[in-house]
């Protein structure tokens, strides 16, 4: 059962991790693509050391169970926000020109 849960969560993370940058790149105009991807890359990759430090502080102060439950709560809030937000569910990508080759 645990392996199945990890497989589903890993697959979902892969789809989301691949889809989000692609949608942002398609939505951005060519001249702005680098400027829009820079903050996204910073938030997805560059802030990881701070996330690790925060997780370590929570784990050392309150234990591993609290750390994992805190992470699960944050993710649950993000999922519920996405599911209940009509604007997010209706979001579409409108291309302003031909797609890059």
**Residues 37-62: tens digit of each pLDDT:** 898 888 888 888 998 999 999 999 99
The enclosing H or E element of 34 equals helix 33-41
Q: Is 4 contained in some domain?
A: yes
Q: Which domain holds residue 32?
A: 1-46
Q: Is 53 contained in some domain?
A: yes
Residues 3 and 28 occupy one common structural domain: yes
pTM above 0.85, yes or no: no
Q: To 10 degrees, the CA torsion angle through 28, 30, 36, 38?
A: 150
- C-alpha–C-alpha distance, residues 59 and 49, integer Å: 15
What is the per-residue DSSP string for 36-89? Answer: HHHHHHIIIIITHHHHHHHHHHHHHHH-HHHHHHHHHHHHHHHHHHHHH-HHHH
Residues 52 and 39 occupy one common structural domain: no
Residues 68 and 34 occupy one common structural domain: no
Residues 16 and 2 occupy one common structural domain: yes
Weakest-pLDDT range from 2-11, 16-25, 63-72: 16-25
Residues 54 and 19 occupy one common structural domain: no
Q: Is 100 contained in some domain?
A: no
Tokens of 26: 């398609």
Q: Is 14 contained in some domain?
A: yes
pLDDT bin (cut points 50, 70, 90) of residue 95 is low
């Amino acid at each position: 059962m645990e392996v199945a849960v990890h497989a589903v969560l890993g697959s979902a993370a892969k789809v989301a991790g691949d889809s989000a940058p692609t949608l942002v790149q398609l939505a951005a105009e060519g001249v702005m693509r680098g400027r829009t991807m820079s903050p996204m890359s910073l938030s997805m990759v560059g802030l990881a050391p701070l996330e690790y430090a925060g997780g370590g502080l929570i784990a050392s102060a309150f234990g591993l169970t609290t750390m994992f439950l805190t992470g699960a709560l944050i993710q649950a809030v993000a999922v519920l926000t996405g599911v209940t937000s009509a604007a997010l569910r209706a979001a579409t990508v409108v291309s302003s020109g031909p797609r890059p080759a």
